[in-house]
Structure 1
Amino acid sequence: MEEAKPPVKPIAYNFGLYLGLLTIAGLVILYALNIESHWIASVISTVATIAIYYVGISAYKKLNSNILSIGDGLKTGMGIALIGGLISGIYSIIHYGFLMPEFLAGKREEAIADMMSQNPNMQGEELEMGMKMIDITTTEFFIATMMLLGSLFFGFIVSLIIAAILKNDR
Structure 2
Amino acid sequence: MENSPSVKSVAYPYGLMLAIYSILVLVLIYLMNIDQENWVIGTVNSLVTIVLYILALRTFKKKNGGFMKLKEALKVGLAIAAISGIISAVYAYIHYSFVYPEFLDMMYEKSYLDITERNMPQAQTDQALELSKMTLSPLFFATTTLILNLFFGFLISLIVGLIMKRENPAYQ
Give me the TM-score of the superposition, normalised by structure 1: 0.91
Counting aligned pairs with the same residue, the percent is 35
Q: What amino acid does structure 2 have at the position aligned with 1:33? A: M
Q: How does 1:1-170 map to 2 (within 5 A)?
A: 2-37=1-36, 38-123=38-123, 126-170=124-168
Q: What amino acid does structure 2 have at the position aligned with 1:162? A: V
Structure 1 residue 91 displacement after superposition = 0.7
Task: Return 5+ residue gaps in structure 1 as ranges.
Answer: none
Task: Return 5+ residue gaps in structure 2 as ranges.
Answer: none
**In structure 1, what is the Cα distance between the partners aligned to 2:139 and 2:119?**
28
1:73-117 per-position Cα deviation (integer Å, ceiling 9, x unaligned): 011001101111111111111111111111101111122222222
Structure 1 residue 119 displacement after superposition = 3.5
Structure 1 residue 4 displacement after superposition = 2.3
**In structure 1, what is the Cα distance between the partners aligned to 2:146 and 2:118?**
30
Structure 1 residue 7 displacement after superposition = 1.6
Q: Are the aligned partners of 1:15 and 1:52 in contact in 2 as well (CA < 8 Å)?
A: yes
Structure 1 residue 10 displacement after superposition = 2.5
1:121-153 per-position Cα deviation (integer Å, ceiling 9, x unaligned): 313xx4443333122100001011111111111
**In structure 1, what is the Cα distance between the partners aligned to 2:45 and 2:129?**
33
Count of residues in Structure 1 that have an aligned counterpart in Structure 2: 167
1:5-32 per-position Cα deviation (integer Å, ceiling 9, x unaligned): 2221221111110111111111111111
**In structure 2, what is the Cα distance between the partners aligned to 1:50 and 1:63?**
20
Q: Are the aligned partners of 1:116 and 1:122 in contact in 2 as well (CA < 8 Å)?
A: no
SS of the residue corresponding to residue 122 of structure 2 reads: coil
**In structure 2, what is the Cα distance between the partners aligned to 1:107 and 1:43?**
22
Structure 1 residue 63 displacement after superposition = 1.6
Give me the TM-score of the superposition, normalised by structure 2: 0.90
